[in-house]
Amino acid sequence: LVGQTYPELAAPAHQLLACLQRQAQTITLDATTPIHKDFHYRHVLVNQLNGLGVNVIDFDEMRLGDPNFDLAHFCANLHLLAYRQQRTPHHLRWLERRFLHSYANHMGQSWSDFARSNEERFCFFYIYSCIKIARQLCLGFGPSPAPADGERRNQVQMILEQGLHHGRRLNFSKPMSLSTSSAHESLNEYKQGRK
């Protein structure tokens, strides 16, 4: 769908899909934890007036799964929000770090231990979330406000770049980038079944 909407972004989208397919063959997931499955900033309410703190809403997709799904999905959507606010996905990195550090602390782990034991699964679900967001943007839905045509393309490209960044964190053998030559090479390999 990304390639049909923005042909110049087809190769990176296919590269991310191929990355997920490769990783899915070896990754071990935890499917024993209740997860929200659509956890993002629009589903979090902060109530400072009556002392109730933070509340999460919209549990219609709740199920058992790997908690890294929710963590990665939240962070990918947070980067989309940061881009929409400041034209950079890094604007809210401090909030992402605080969120992940607090989660690790709540799980009784140091940040370094938590990151080390969860990085592969976090990156896997982050890439998945980036593909999902790119698809939603192409269809004109997802976290509001829905961007107009030119801005939508910019947001699709930004979220694919975020996915490629997390693919590089997994140390895949081929470099992952939005450069035209490597992206077209990746797309050709994907189409020929080599990826």
Distances (CA, A) of 102 to 26, 58, 176, 180, 183: 29, 22, 30, 39, 37
CB 3 within 8 A of CB 9: yes
The domain segmentation of the chain, as residue ranges, is: 2-31+67-186
Mean pLDDT of 177-192: 42
Query: What is the pTM for the complete model shown?
Result: 0.77
pLDDT, tens digit, for every residue of 119-160? 899 999 999 999 999 999 999 887 778 888 789 999 999 999
